[in-house]
A and B are shown apart, each in its own frame.
Chain A
């Protein structure tokens, strides 16, 4: 049991490292404010120089690589179906979420995602995967700006997002988005 524990801790640390790497890419790629995400008219693409082999280019490619390095392959899905679904949402993240998204694009995206998540806890259904992590990071800058009504409108997205941000070690330096409203005065004034 002890051995397993140590291994678990070690892999948990590795996971944290992955997340840090991913998050720091996110920051390099889009600097701190969402508005200045475009540098020289082009979004920056992360490159990972590995010790033994060629460098890897692309956010989801690198993230998948690091996940494997950390022996966390289950984050890429366990069945063929799940693996394909994870990759599909990773692609969605880098094409749709990171595309030059106007407010309308984002609204359409949130609407679709909201309807997709209606009967799901995670993007694959029941298992937490890399797709949840990267989509969470990608959506954070938009979710932060949602109004209370919009958060209610995209209820399933809000539920999923809130769940992911409370996942241990995931949120990193990103701000925690508040989904709960507090009632201060009652109607009976």
Chain B
């Protein structure tokens, strides 16, 4: 075996002292390595001392190395030694490394150094004197003494840090230090220089974590049980007591919704889904569903909100699809527009407008923007080398060509973009190009085209970004993508294509061409609004009053954050530009990306066919929303999350709260007399609610959903601890307590129903109907937790107790049934045990065991344990 030590590494002391024990038992080589050398192959951080065992394994813990040397000498492990070593690792070391850091690296002295370790030193001293043994684990020196001595020696060898009053510690330390192996180890490691010998080593170590205090976390929810100040509690109670009186009147519905001066006007767009196919779950979570949550939230805040979307219908993809299906492009658009609209309706997407891009308004606005750009000199003309299929007698744009990606070698790359690496491709760069229609190899020919002069607009764009980005809620990936485009420098971008299905180019010589879909698709938002109201310019030429939130997957960022702003800035018509660009990462399916054009993934219409309600889909998709990083869709996980979070947590809580009101109080919310514990709960819920608001204001949709679940967990714990079902049978005081707990719980349920509204609108409405929550309380969410169901309020009695509102379908079993089954399993288990104890008749036992097994199976099914259930959900 081989021992690796490093000069000045404190761990070398005990290890070298203990190594004497192993002398003669095994061959030991000692090597000195640099402090930054990674000896252990599986550890990322360098670590010394290390013992490489003869079997190839490594001991990298100082204590474990010492222990091993002692074990080799025939010593046997005992509880007391284990306890000392565990204490050394968990308590002494953190304190000691802080003290040594202050002393050696920061050059502090006196109490600054002693302070952190005083408690630990006192603990050793007391233990020694209480047991009146000379050594830590008994009458003789042993492992614990060596390990602790080695840890303490660098500090305690300076008498200034060995407090006089700790007599027992004093004499123990002197005794151990005088042992020959220890003396030698001390000489080898400290080299007569005292603690300063450790400096070169300690300086290279990261600052001890015990010094860093609480790490700064991006996720404040991890510190959610933070201590509450009396003031916070008092404020929460005041808000609660004001109750419904706190609520402003509901904003009357408007049609059309138009910006109002002096109000917060929120314009929300979801990326326009391409019309050539059925949307998949990745599209749905990436834009329409995410934007829907925000739009619903925005309305709950009483902000003046317009949410729009539509199908993007022009372009080559439509022409190809039309060819595939033997229809005209218009027929394809009509067909798929209806499919899209149906799917989004099923998903309960709350569009104010769901339009389309193939309208006269689109032509009018696009041509207007183009004319303005053209007359201001932002449009260039150039000849382009382009692929032309001689057999079909046409230029092949974009998606009419397939070939091998020049960047990653992917074989099914399209003419404009590779599905695998996501890079944009110039069709002529494709290797082995093929005409998608006839599969023949196209030839390169030249053709006249128009270009948007992005380099000329770059400066304006940068100025605009400088004013927009700081303090805005652009997602980090969007900022990154835009920054990298700007870093590489913008190039003129072709805005015309040789197609028929598109917005005509209003310029002589370009009668056969149309605008490239990405020049005019983003203009679709404007034209869709124009079809909704003739006052569309109040939204789109009003940057002072309108906040524009645009939702999309990250592949759409360049067009929304760069190309369209350049067009709009160049057109000089005071357009409203994106204030908050919200881009998701990708939702993966199995091992690949969802891709509409390649048919990989789960599609909107299939979601509908599964029989799982839209709200469950919404919940799961939002729960795994690819926010900040890619995420993956998994059926098993969906089942699991539905059961663990929706059923057992949220559903369970809301059902129980409602059930207690109906069952114990005849449906009337009981009187609530808040104790200080209840007030604390109010404050915790308020805090979490405020957290939810902070997150949603920053469009951190997935994270905000966690806040809902946290509140419901608080609620469940609250019910569990206070056991209203027991107290209701008790004394007058107990019954009053049961009333308070039930009343508070049902109010939390009411709050949750509102917070849940952006995520699960149908479930939210069901709960609110059952609770008979007054309309303003349903439609407005303040930053404080209010008592919206005051004492005496009558809730709907019908369904709360019998039919769970949340998570009813995936397993078709509510939490009550699970509880019943659990009780039965326990009961039956007892019967079996008793029979066995009485040595009862074999057949009788077998019969009862069979019953037990059957019950267990039912329970497993009810809990949705992934036995057969996921398979049952499989299609194909």
- B204 sits at the interface (CB 8 A): no
Q: Determine whether the beta carbon of B41 is less than 8 Å from that of A84.
A: no
Shortest CB–CB separation between residue B627 and chain A, in angstroms?
Answer: 12
Q: Determine whether the beta carbon of B635 is less than 8 Å from that of A187.
A: no
- A166 sits at the interface (CB 8 A): no
- A22 sits at the interface (CB 8 A): no
Q: Determine whether the beta carbon of A61 is less than 8 Å from that of B86.
A: yes
One of A57, A100, A108, A183 near B215 (C-beta < 8 A) = A100
- A148 sits at the interface (CB 8 A): yes
Given contacts A84-B71, A178-B866, contact A58 B90 (CB under 8 A): yes
Question: Which B residues, 205 to 230, have Cβ-Cβ distances below 8 Å to chain A?
Answer: 209, 214-215, 217, 219, 221-222, 224-225
Q: Which of B87, B222, B644 has the most CB of A within 10 A?
A: B222
- B345 sits at the interface (CB 8 A): no
Alpha-carbon gap, A103 to B222, bound state (A): 11
Cβ of A80: which chain B residues have Cβ within 8 Å of it? 68, 71-72
Contact with B along A38-63 (1 / 0, CB 8 A): 00000001000000000011111100
- B85 sits at the interface (CB 8 A): yes
Given contacts A84-B64, A99-B209, A108-B44, contact A184 B86 (CB under 8 A): no
Shortest CB–CB separation between residue A146 and chain B, in angstroms?
Answer: 11
Given contacts A56-B83, A182-B870, A189-B599, contact A116 B222 (CB under 8 A): no
Q: Determine whether the beta carbon of B57 is less than 8 Å from that of A81.
A: yes
Contact-size category for B: 35 or more
- A64 sits at the interface (CB 8 A): yes
- B636 sits at the interface (CB 8 A): yes
- B487 sits at the interface (CB 8 A): no
Contact-size category for A: 35 or more
Cβ of A24: which chain B residues have Cβ within 8 Å of it? none
One of B65, B87, B225, B876 near A185 (C-beta < 8 A) = B876
Q: Determine whether the beta carbon of A33 is less than 8 Å from that of B713.
A: yes
Given contacts A84-B71, A91-B86, contact A187 B599 (CB under 8 A): yes
Alpha-carbon gap, A102 to B215, bound state (A): 8
Cβ of B93: which chain A residues have Cβ within 8 Å of it? 95
One of A84, A99, A116 near B67 (C-beta < 8 A) = A84
Contact with A along B555-594 (1 / 0, CB 8 A): 0000000000000000000000000000000001010100
Q: Determine whether the beta carbon of A185 is less than 8 Å from that of B57.
A: no
- A16 sits at the interface (CB 8 A): no
Cβ of B217: which chain A residues have Cβ within 8 Å of it? 102
One of B71, B90, B606 near A94 (C-beta < 8 A) = B90
Q: Which residue of B lies closest to A144 (CB)?
A: B644
Question: Which B residues, 524 to 548, have Cβ-Cβ distances below 8 Å to chain A?
Answer: none
Alpha-carbon gap, A61 to B873, bound state (A): 47
- A71 sits at the interface (CB 8 A): no
Question: Which A residues, 145 to 161, have Cβ-Cβ distances below 8 Å to chain B?
Answer: 147-149
Alpha-carbon gap, A95 to B86, bound state (A): 9
Q: Determine whether the beta carbon of B61 is less than 8 Å from that of A91.
A: yes
Alpha-carbon gap, A87 to B90, bound state (A): 14
Question: Which B residues, 49 to 78, have Cβ-Cβ distances below 8 Å to chain A?
Answer: 53, 55, 57, 59-61, 63-65, 67-68, 71-72, 77
Shortest CB–CB separation between residue B238 and chain A, in angstroms?
Answer: 27
Q: Determine whether the beta carbon of B635 is less than 8 Å from that of A35.
A: no
Q: Which residue of A lies closest to B51 (CB)?
A: A84
Alpha-carbon gap, A182 to B636, bound state (A): 7
Q: Determine whether the beta carbon of A64 is less than 8 Å from that of B67.
A: no
Shortest CB–CB separation between residue A32 and chain B, in angstroms?
Answer: 8
Cβ of A84: which chain B residues have Cβ within 8 Å of it? 59, 64-65, 67-68, 71
Cβ of A99: which chain B residues have Cβ within 8 Å of it? 209
Shortest CB–CB separation between residue A110 and chain B, in angstroms?
Answer: 11
Alpha-carbon gap, A127 to B629, bound state (A): 38
Contact with A along B598-616 (1 / 0, CB 8 A): 1111110010000000000
Q: Determine whether the beta carbon of B86 is less than 8 Å from that of A60.
A: yes
Alpha-carbon gap, A36 to B223, bound state (A): 8
Shortest CB–CB separation between residue A89 and chain B, in angstroms?
Answer: 9
Q: Determine whether the beta carbon of A83 is less than 8 Å from that of B866.
A: no
One of A33, A88, A176, A181 near B64 (C-beta < 8 A) = A88
Question: Which A residues, 71 to 113, have Cβ-Cβ distances below 8 Å to chain B?
Answer: 76, 80-81, 83-85, 87-88, 90-92, 94-95, 98-100, 102-103, 108, 111-113
- A180 sits at the interface (CB 8 A): yes
Cβ of B187: which chain A residues have Cβ within 8 Å of it? none
Cβ of B632: which chain A residues have Cβ within 8 Å of it? 147-149, 181
One of B71, B87, B634 near A83 (C-beta < 8 A) = B71
One of A56, A180, A185, A187 near B79 (C-beta < 8 A) = A56
Q: Which of B67, B86, B590 has the most CB of A within 10 A?
A: B86
- A5 sits at the interface (CB 8 A): no
- B43 sits at the interface (CB 8 A): yes
Shortest CB–CB separation between residue A108 and chain B, in angstroms?
Answer: 6
Shortest CB–CB separation between residue A137 and chain B, in angstroms?
Answer: 16
- B32 sits at the interface (CB 8 A): no
Given contacts A61-B79, A189-B599, contact A100 B214 (CB under 8 A): yes
Shortest CB–CB separation between residue A81 and chain B, in angstroms?
Answer: 6
Alpha-carbon gap, A94 to B71, bound state (A): 22
Given contacts A58-B87, A65-B79, contact A35 B224 (CB under 8 A): yes
- A186 sits at the interface (CB 8 A): yes
Question: Which B residues, 487 to 510, have Cβ-Cβ distances below 8 Å to chain A?
Answer: none
- B875 sits at the interface (CB 8 A): yes
Given contacts A84-B67, A87-B63, A147-B631, contact A35 B221 (CB under 8 A): yes
Q: Determine whether the beta carbon of B63 is less than 8 Å from that of A91.
A: yes
Given contacts A56-B83, A95-B89, A100-B214, contact A185 B875 (CB under 8 A): yes
One of B44, B53, B83 near A61 (C-beta < 8 A) = B83
- A4 sits at the interface (CB 8 A): no
Q: Determine whether the beta carbon of A115 is less than 8 Å from that of B214.
A: no
One of A36, A94, A180, A184 near B876 (C-beta < 8 A) = A184
- A6 sits at the interface (CB 8 A): no
One of B60, B63, B221, B634 near A182 (C-beta < 8 A) = B634
Cβ of B601: which chain A residues have Cβ within 8 Å of it? 185, 189
Given contacts A91-B61, A178-B637, A187-B600, contact A149 B588 (CB under 8 A): yes
Alpha-carbon gap, A94 to B85, bound state (A): 11
Q: Which residue of A lies closest to B633 (CB)?
A: A148
One of B59, B65, B77, B630 near A76 (C-beta < 8 A) = B77
Given contacts A36-B225, A99-B209, A182-B635, contact A115 B87 (CB under 8 A): no
Alpha-carbon gap, A184 to B612, bound state (A): 15
Shortest CB–CB separation between residue A158 and chain B, in angstroms?
Answer: 14
Alpha-carbon gap, A116 to B60, bound state (A): 12
Q: Determine whether the beta carbon of B603 is less than 8 Å from that of A81.
A: no
Alpha-carbon gap, A81 to B51, bound state (A): 11
Q: Determine whether the beta carbon of B87 is less than 8 Å from that of A149.
A: no
Given contacts A115-B41, A178-B637, contact A88 B86 (CB under 8 A): no
- B640 sits at the interface (CB 8 A): yes
Alpha-carbon gap, A34 to B592, bound state (A): 32
Cβ of B90: which chain A residues have Cβ within 8 Å of it? 45, 58, 94-95, 98
What 5 pairs across the A-B complex have the smallest Cβ distances? A88-B64, A84-B68, A80-B71, A58-B86, A189-B599
Of the A-B pairs whose beta carbons lie under 8 Å apart in the complex, a sample of 7, sorted by A's number, is A35-B221, A64-B77, A84-B67, A103-B219, A112-B42, A147-B632, A189-B601
Given contact pairs A57-B86, A91-B61, A102-B215, enumerate 20 new A-B contacts (beta carbons under 8 Å): A33-B713, A35-B221, A56-B79, A58-B82, A81-B53, A81-B68, A84-B68, A87-B82, A90-B86, A94-B90, A95-B93, A108-B44, A111-B44, A147-B629, A148-B637, A175-B644, A178-B636, A185-B606, A185-B876, A189-B600
Where the two chains meet, the residues of A that have a C-beta atom closer than 8 Å to any C-beta of B are 33, 35-36, 45, 56-61, 64-65, 76, 80-81, 83-85, 87-88, 90-92, 94-95, 98-100, 102-103, 108, 111-113, 115-116, 118, 125, 147-149, 175-176, 178, 180-189
Where the two chains meet, the residues of B that have a C-beta atom closer than 8 Å to any C-beta of A are 41-45, 53, 55, 57, 59-61, 63-65, 67-68, 71-72, 77, 79, 82-83, 85-87, 89-90, 93, 209, 214-215, 217, 219, 221-222, 224-225, 588, 590, 592, 598-603, 606, 629-632, 634-637, 640, 644, 713, 865-866, 870-871, 873-876
